[in-house]
Structure 1
Amino acid sequence: MADAKVIPFDDDRSRGSAVQRPSRRRSAGSRRGGGVGEGRAGHEVGEVQALPSRARAQDDGSVPREKQRQQPDHLEQQERLEQPHQAAQQQPSAEDGLDRRIAGGLAFLRRRLTGDYEVDDFGYDAELTDNVLMSLLRPVYEKYFRVEVKGIENIPAEGGALIVANHSGTLPLDGLMMQVAVHDHHPAGRHLRLLAADLVFVLPVVNELARKLGHTLACAEDAERLLRQGELVGVMPEGFKGIGKPFSERYKLQRFGRGGFVSTALRRGAPIIPCSIVGAEEIYPMLGNAKTVARLLGFPYFPLTPTFPWLGPLGAVPLPTKWTIQFGEPIPTGGYPPEAAEDPMLMFNLTDQVREQIQHTLYKLLVQRRSVFF
């Protein structure tokens, strides 16, 4: 072993065999990698080369090959130990989320103060609706009325469509809850543009809030324009007859007018989606109607409930009933010719079909309901 360490190595070095060293090192490396086809001579040559290279490495003060071979494993272990710590640092903390919300709120206030926001021709303010108004309605929707939504997949992801729903509850909270249901549960996060009565737009404060939420007058012109723009439009054809009916007639649909909503849908070829709402009838059980007071105030009715007006402002708090909103299968209108919108018989048949489907679903949901409040 001593002879091999002196004679072959010196002979090779003296003959300028440094050019051949890389090939020898590759053979030694392949030997360490576990090559099966190497002979004994290959092992001896590898050992002869390893001894002087170890001596040079130690003389130069560098790391020996044994430690160099162990170093990658040590680095891998260290990287594995550092990965959870780095991942924890990359995850956003609660303070970062709070900072982002504060920054977003300040930016929102700046845009409101400077007027740097958009409002459409109807007065709809999408930013205010998403950031403020929906945030105010959502706790009532989720915690107070605990609304359960069914059939949301029947609402198309894009394009114009007309949602027709029953109307009840003395105060029109059912329209607002339906608006939150579409906004929060639809996969596309669509906005529902409700058609409201004239009274909504003459009341102070209520007028501005209704416009900001995207409501507009219940007229054929506005409805057709929204559908042409690809909006989702909501209408409650019962009007004040439905919302102001006595408690003894709850969940009995009133007349659907003259079918103007059907004519609008036919002109635009928009599908009609029936919607049934259970739970709104009991929030203000209307036991009577003070017609004289209603005429003096200019209201279509003045409700008398078990709590209002006897308890004053406290009587205006709705009862915490459990709601269910179900969207039915769409009724297509795209297959009719343009002149179909002027056919009174067709409009009557489609109106009756929508009404019957809503009424049937209401009865079905009432049979399934076990409690008004739970």
Structure 2
Amino acid sequence: MSDDEPSLLGPEATAALDDFIRAGGVLIDRLKDMPSDRVGEVLADPVAAVIAVGKKLGVQWQGSIEELVAYAKSRLAGDYAVDEFGFDPEFTERLFLPVMRLLAEKWFRLELRGLENLPADGSALLVANHAGTLPLDAMVLHAAVFDATGRHTRMLGADLVFTTPYSHDFARRIGATVACPEDAARLLAGEQLVSVFPEGFKGLGKRYTDRYRLQRFGRGGFVATAVRSQVPIVPVSIVGSEEIYPMISNASSLAKTLGFPYFPITPLFPWLGVLGLIPLPSKWIIEFGEAITTDELPPGAADDPGTALQITDQVRITIQNSLYRLLDERPGVFF
């Protein structure tokens, strides 16, 4: 951690974390110097233990113990590929998605609707509501879309995600990039599914009393990007994320001191410490609405503020109405 990066922990916790990271680095250096057959022996038992625990919890790991050991060895040797944005498909599919799949299916009992509205190929911009204190909704959406279509969603994230120590590497590795027109346009030109959450931190950090009331969708930047790229916009409505961490206060003064957009105070956090970070098992529904086409708009529409705002309002109203309908259809918050 550089001296100019803000520390999100106290000095003692930061020192302990740095010691842990250094120790891990020493272990990795030692493993790199070992013969390949010896590395396999060293890693076999820990990997087997992780697989066993995961299976008891219901995680469906991709690959056998031998394959996962080989995967770990390739990681230590630096023998793996990422794309120009830092996306690591192997890491995502082997480690990240199995955990998110377990969370979605077993904990949140996720129900998907409107899957026929997801394109089987070609680019599209998935526009979703955003809530829940932590961005679990974006990650669950990634897992749901991948399982339904075999395609990854490339998430657009706020600058804070990529300037916070430790989180930026993870975000890049699972396919996220900065929410800017340039990166979005490059992804869409590469035939990718791109997910965007126009509410940003305003939606993610709103109080429980404002649940399922959409915040502003900005000034239509995501619409302009879709129009320029001539790709469809798919409205996505997510019910369930609002209840996982019911925020009763955002502790604005403390958040400002820490450099956060908000600091969540919930019925369980920070009172129960780490246990307070366990999300409540709310019932989730994700619905994919009918795509809004953009390829038939006249030239110059992307630079017309009126067109951008009109389509922005159309997407926002579509999602808001869907949220109200899904809430009426959901049997209850936790069942």
Report the TM-score when normalising by structure 2: 0.80
Contact 2:217 2:316 (C-alpha < 8 Å) held by counterparts: yes
Is 1:349 aligned to 2:310, yes or no? Answer: yes
2:202 corresponds to: 241
Q: Which has the higher contact order (CA 8 A, sep 6+)?
A: 2
1:198 corresponds to: 159
1:107 corresponds to: 70
Is 1:155 aligned to 2:155, yes or no? Answer: no
4+ aligned runs moved over 3 Å, structure 1: none
Structure possessing the higher radius of gyration over alpha carbons = 1
Is 1:328 aligned to 2:289, yes or no? Answer: yes
Is 1:229 aligned to 2:190, yes or no? Answer: yes
1:307 corresponds to: 268
Using the TM superposition, give the Cα deviation of residue 303 of structure 1 relative to its aligned residue in structure 2, in angstroms: 1.4
Matched letter for residue 317 of structure 1: I
Q: How far apart in 2 are the matches of 1:277 and 1:213?
A: 20
Q: SS of 1:289's equivalent?
A: coil
Matched letter for residue 262 of structure 1: V
Alignment of 1:248-327 (within 5 A): 248-327=209-288
Whose helix proportion is higher, 1 or 2?
1
Q: How far apart in 2 are the matches of 1:373 and 1:208?
A: 33
Contact 1:266 1:338 (C-alpha < 8 Å) held by counterparts: no
Is 1:146 aligned to 2:112, yes or no? Answer: no
Contact 1:288 1:305 (C-alpha < 8 Å) held by counterparts: yes
Contact 1:284 1:305 (C-alpha < 8 Å) held by counterparts: yes
Q: SS of 2:64's equivalent?
A: helix
Contact 2:88 2:175 (C-alpha < 8 Å) held by counterparts: yes
Q: How far apart in 1 are the matches of 2:274 and 2:179?
A: 30
Report the TM-score when normalising by structure 1: 0.71
Is 1:208 aligned to 2:169, yes or no? Answer: yes
Using the TM superposition, give the Cα deviation of residue 114 of structure 1 relative to its aligned residue in structure 2, in angstroms: 2.8
1:360 corresponds to: 321
Contact 1:267 1:338 (C-alpha < 8 Å) held by counterparts: no
Q: How far apart in 1 are the matches of 2:321 and 2:253?
A: 36
Contact 1:197 1:217 (C-alpha < 8 Å) held by counterparts: yes
**Contiguous gaps of at least 5 residues in structure 1:** 1-97
Is 1:371 aligned to 2:324, yes or no? Answer: no
**Which of the residues 118, 121, 125 maps onto 2:81?**
118
Identity of matched residues, %: 56
> Deviations for 1:336-371, whole angstroms, at most 9, x for unmatched residues?
133110011111110010001101110110110111
Matched letter for residue 315 of structure 2: V
**Which of the residues 133, 150, 153 maps onto 2:96?**
133
**Contiguous gaps of at least 5 residues in structure 2:** 1-60
Change (3 A) 1:284 1:230: same
> Deviations for 1:36-88, whole angstroms, at most 9, x for unmatched residues?
xxxxxxxxxxxxxxxxxxxxxxxxxxxxxxxxxxxxxxxxxxxxxxxxxxxxx
Matched letter for residue 248 of structure 2: L
Q: How far apart in 2 are the matches of 1:136 and 1:304?
A: 26
Q: How far apart in 2 are the matches of 1:178 and 1:228?
A: 22
Q: How far apart in 1 are the matches of 2:111 and 2:228?
A: 33
> Deviations for 1:283-302, whole angstroms, at most 9, x for unmatched residues?
11111121111011100011
Aligned residues: 274
Using the TM superposition, give the Cα deviation of residue 145 of structure 1 relative to its aligned residue in structure 2, in angstroms: 1.0
Q: How far apart in 1 are the matches of 2:250 and 2:100?
A: 28
Q: SS of 2:144's equivalent?
A: helix
Q: SS of 1:285's equivalent?
A: coil
1:173 corresponds to: 136
Using the TM superposition, give the Cα deviation of residue 102 of structure 1 relative to its aligned residue in structure 2, in angstroms: 2.7
Is 1:339 aligned to 2:300, yes or no? Answer: yes
The farther-off stretch of 168-177 and 198-207 is 198-207
Q: SS of 1:270's equivalent?
A: coil
1:220 corresponds to: 181
Contact 1:269 1:334 (C-alpha < 8 Å) held by counterparts: yes
Q: How far apart in 2 are the matches of 1:307 and 1:126?
A: 35
